[in-house]
Every structure is written in C-alpha cells, then in structure tokens.
Structure 1
Amino acid sequence: MTTARTPAPQSRDGLVLRPLAGPEELDLFLGLEYVLDDELAEDLGTGRRLPEWMWVALRGDRVVARIAWWTGVPGGEPQALDFFDLDPALPAEERIATGLRLLETATAAVVPAGAPRPEYGRFLPSDWREDDTVREQLETLFAVLERAGARPLVERLRLEWRPGTPVAEPSGRLAFRPVRDREDLVALMTPVMAGTLDAHGQADLASGLSAREAAEQHYDEEFAHYASPREWWRIAELPGTAEPVGFVVPARNNYHHTIAYIGVLPAHRGHGYIDDVLREGTALLAARDVPRIRAATDLGNVPMANAFARAGYVNFQRAINFVWDVPGTTGS
C-alpha cells in the first residue's frame, strides 16, 4: 500500500477538515453516531481502518460531519466508503455544503489519484421511508453523494437467522459435498453470474468483465480472505449422477457468520432447489451454535428474498450502495 502523507488541516469559514491524528482520537470521531460505531476500535487495531482514512469536519470542538473508509485486507488500499454522517441539527443546505466539502477533501487525500472511487454503502432502518425524520436525513446525505457524481446502484435487504428458528429436515432431493478447490467453485459461479439478478454482478458484466472474470474476481476479492474453513462450502448435486445443481458458501467474515453466496445453475432453476441449498448452508452454521447468521439480497431479487423468508430469515435492516462510474470524478 502507498503510504499517504497526512494532510494539514484545512480551515475555511470556521470549518476545520482533518483526519484523525491517531487511534487516541477515536472518541472525537464518535461525536456523531452510526450503527457500526462499535466496530471501529477493533478495525483500527487490526488495520482494517487507518486514522488517516477517518476524517472529521469541526466547528470548534463540535463534529458536524465525518467520513471513513475500510479495507478487508489490512495493508491494502481502501476498498469501501462505509461511514459518512452529517450533523442532523444543521439546516439541510448547511449539511449538504459541509458534507460535500468533507467528501471531496477527504477523497482527494485518501483515494489515489486516478484510482476508482470505492463504493459507498450504508445500512438503513427497514422502515426508513416511513419515518419522515430519518428519510429527510438520509435523502440529504444522498443528495451530497449525487452532487459529488455518485449514483445509487442498489438497495438491499439485510437478513438474519436467529438461534431457535427451526431448520427444515433434508428433503433428500439433493446430495451435498465439500468444494474441492478454487476451480471447482468458480466453474459453477460462472454460469450463475451470467444470468444473475444481483445488481453488483450485473454491474461487473456491464463493465466489460466476462462472467468467468467476474466470478474469479468475486472469489479472489472476497472468498479467498475468509478465515473460516473452506470445508464448510458445499456443492449440491443430483443424487446418483453427481450432476451439479448449485452451491452455497457458509462462512464467517470479519464480523459475523454469513451465507456469503448461494446459487442454482440456470439449467436447474424452477424446481425449488434453492430451498434445499439454503437449508444446507443454514444447517451447517446452526449446528455450530453461532449467535446469528447474516445474509443479504437485492430488494428486487424477489425469488431469493422469498427463499430466505421460507428458511426463517428476518429482514432486520436495509442497505444502499452508491457508485462512481468515472474514476476520480467529483461534483462541483
């Protein structure tokens, strides 16, 4: 990773923009609130987050905006923009102006020149559109992102299976075996990727990647870094023929046990096999007495959302992702 020079604080009109001086300033960053605040200390300790990637906008001692990036590979470049908060006590136009200045200033310091700008992701209450106060605050934040050249990519359901939720008995329609190696899984991910309903997968294909390249990138950037056993990963087959039907990747990421990826091959869709495949991944994790199992699917992927609901997963949050289509661009 390129070591960035810590920029000097920028001050204009009484507003100071600067990164944290070090982990000891975490309490300053906590001057605003977000649902991931309790992960910050550990992230700083493991190198998933750096003080120079965590910026604040200050009026005197008061934090009026903050922003931060994250990486899943300590020592790597920032992979995601996952904190961006504006003081709700400020008038909307002041929030927008302050947020835009902080976003542009911090991005110029954190993201290497000419590099793609990391995607922004935010967790939302499931009913965020029905709560007028929450909706106004979020739509003001989204306005800042759009003025900076971002566009919304997708809204997603965040799902959770909780201990005590019944797990169905195996139907016997499919047999399951562990994934042998990278090629074993990537070869099955490729046809699933080609017909995906997932917005991120569709964006990868629209960028010019082939289905095979998109599958390889997904594997190498995410699955290869899980510390949980790869023996958990399962391929579903038709009994007696070994013909592959689908796959599921139960795992533990940096924070939770999760159904990281699941798919049914196009030739076998329409037979309800997704329920059997999801049941296998859920049962494997549930047998290990995990405190919860997390999953997510696009709001528009109704078949997958329905499968999770049938398996007892509840929608506890939503998430939204914004992307910059042109590297390095900012709004004016």
Structure 2
Amino acid sequence: MNDAPTTAVALAASKARLASYLHPAEWALIAEDIAAIHDLKRDRRALVLAHNYQTPDIFHGVADVVGDSLALARAAERFSVDVLVVAGVHFMAETAKLLNPDRRVLTPDQEAGCSLAASIGPDDVVALKARYPGLPVVAYVNTSAAVKALADYCCTSANAARVVEAAARDFGSEAVIMLPDRFLAANTARETRIKIIPWAGACEVHERFGPAELTELRERFPGITLLAHPECPEPVVAAADFAGSTAAMAAFLDKHHPSRVALITECGMSDNLAAAHPETEFIRTCNLCPHMKRITLGKIRRALETLSPEVKLDPALITAASRPLQRMLAIG
C-alpha cells in the first residue's frame, strides 16, 4: 500500500494502542514481529483482517481492519491491495476469497477451523433438501464455501430474521431450512412467524454458557448489563439485556456506555473493547475459542513472508457460493 505509514510510524502507533495491555517487557518480545509485519504489508501491498476474537497483539498491533467475519470480507473491497491476510478461522478466509476472488487470500493457520462450520457438510445439505423439497436453505456465514454453494441465501447473526423472511417470501414458503447453528435458529424463530427447520450444529464456545451463569453475574454484580451472542442457547439470550452479533455488541457499548458489562461470547471480545471504553468495567466470562487462538503474530509474519498458505477455490465453487452471499447483501 503506497499510502501506508512508514514502519517506524506504524510501530509507534501499535505500541501506543497496546500500552494499556502489555508490560514494556512483553512489548519487547513482540516488537520485532510487529515491525516485520508492517514492513511486509507495505512490500506485499497487503491488508491484515482481524476478527473481534483475536488477541490484542494482533487486534491492536497489526490489524488494518477489525470486525466480524462478513464485515472483514466486505471491508477489503474498499482498499487497493493485492493480498488479504485473514486473522480468523478458515471459513472466514474462504468468505474473503468469495467476495474478493481476484486477490490472493492467506490464512495464517490452515488448522484454524470452527466447530460450527465443521458440524455440517455438503452431503448433509443435499440430504436436507431431499427431505424438505422446495424449501429455501439459509446458511449462516459460519459455513464452508462448499456448504454455501448448496444454499439459497446466506445470513449473519445480525440479519438472520430479515433473510429468513425474505427467503420464505421469495419461495412462497411458510418454512425455511436454517443451518448449521441450532441456537441461532431458535433465537431467530422468536423474531419471525416463519417456521424454521434447524440443523443440530453449535459453537463450542457459545453452547457452554447457561442461564444460571447470567443469574450469578446479576447477583454478584448488581446493575450489570449482559450482552449475549445469538449463538448462545435460547434461555441465555432470553436472560440477557441485549442479544446481537459482535459488531452489534460493540455498537451497543458505543451508544449506551454501561458502567459494568459482561459480554456473553468469546472473551477476547472484552479484551479488545476494554481500552476503547474506560468508562465501563468489563466482567470477563472467559470461554476461549481454541481455533481463533491458533492465529499468532509469528504465523501472520510467515504467511506474508511466504505468501502461503493461500486459500484457493475452484472458479465454479466461487460462482455457486457467491450467489447466496450476494442475495443476502441485497437484502441488507
């Protein structure tokens, strides 16, 4: 990126952003990797996209764009770059490739998977469509490109109800197949009269939360505000003060500035938002995603040095899997 700041300027900015997270001795351990990554981004005309669950050294240290999975993939369209490094799990890198087919997309760790995306494969979708012929299939973005290619629409946790209703209307149907997250399906069903036929998948992070945990938080911390992700079980979402995507949670904090909050989601989210909200006390409910944590500064550096591992998708798969994504984007 020709207009990127010099490495010295970028490194100083990274150090300032991380000052509230790291002891000076910790900064010394990662400064070389961060400087190298800034150098490589300039040389490779590259952009680092970091999901909200990444660790602060990545989120605040080297990321050019941060957000949820779809926001990352779409944000890349605004930049004149050749390479995208997706600091997130594998389906996120695939989604970035689907929306940026002419760019080189790198995934720092090919083993950074997702329990939710892994819960369903193409054969499962084919079987569902055979069992419920004529019903539209809505696939959460947390799915592989191969599963997206067999869906009629994609959705996010933020727009799931709108997409379900649009799919039912377009197909003239009173029911919709929604996959793969059974909890997102149940929580979406509360927002619409459309019958939702779910798949039995779940996120291994969010399914561990239970309503008793929220009750305990309210007892221990009077006046606390509880924000839950829609991938949590339905009783958890019902017990929260607000439910929404990671982007919606961040927007809630920006608007309402609660004095004390717990984010019922992957705990990296709290780490990354705390510095921007000194007025808010974050009570950690620390369920970690082991897949997200496979991404490290060292792996991002190696990906930029070697331009690998690269996400490569068959052109026919890109065409098929992009269709439900574009339908979702048209709905908004």
The interval holding the TM-score normalised by the smaller chain is: under 0.3
Per the normalisation by structure 1, the TM-score is 0.26
Structure number with higher strand proportion: 1
Q: Which structure has greater helix proportion? A: 2
Q: Which has the larger radius of gyration?
A: 1
Superposition TM-score, scaled by structure 2 size: 0.26
